[in-house]
Amino acid sequence: MDIIKLKMKNDNENRNANNITFLQGSRLSSLFKKLTKIETPKLVAANKTYPKMISIISPSSIYFSLYLSY
């Protein structure tokens, strides 16, 4: 089963961020809406070094990285 790891970092905090693991059956749009309290987070960039990593920034300056494990 595919696992999605959500890593949360805050600019004002240290880089030791907590990892939250979700099953892929979860709806990402509703997940991000709950976490960021906005409708659609803005996709910033896909990391070229790690093609499976997607970086997303929300207006609250919390960075989200989705790690798709296969």
For the chain, the domains span 3-8+24-69
**Spatial separation of the C-alpha atoms in residues 29 and 6, rounded to whole Å:** 13
- The tens digit of pLDDT for each residue in 22-32 reads 434 445 555 55
**Spatial separation of the C-alpha atoms in residues 42 and 15, rounded to whole Å:** 21
- The tens digit of pLDDT for each residue in 11-62 reads 444 444 444 444 344 455 555 555 555 444 444 444 445 444 445 444 444 4
Q: What is the pLDDT of residue 25?
A: 42
Q: Give this prediction's pTM.
A: 0.18
User: In the block, which residue shows the tokens 């990402």?
Assistant: 28
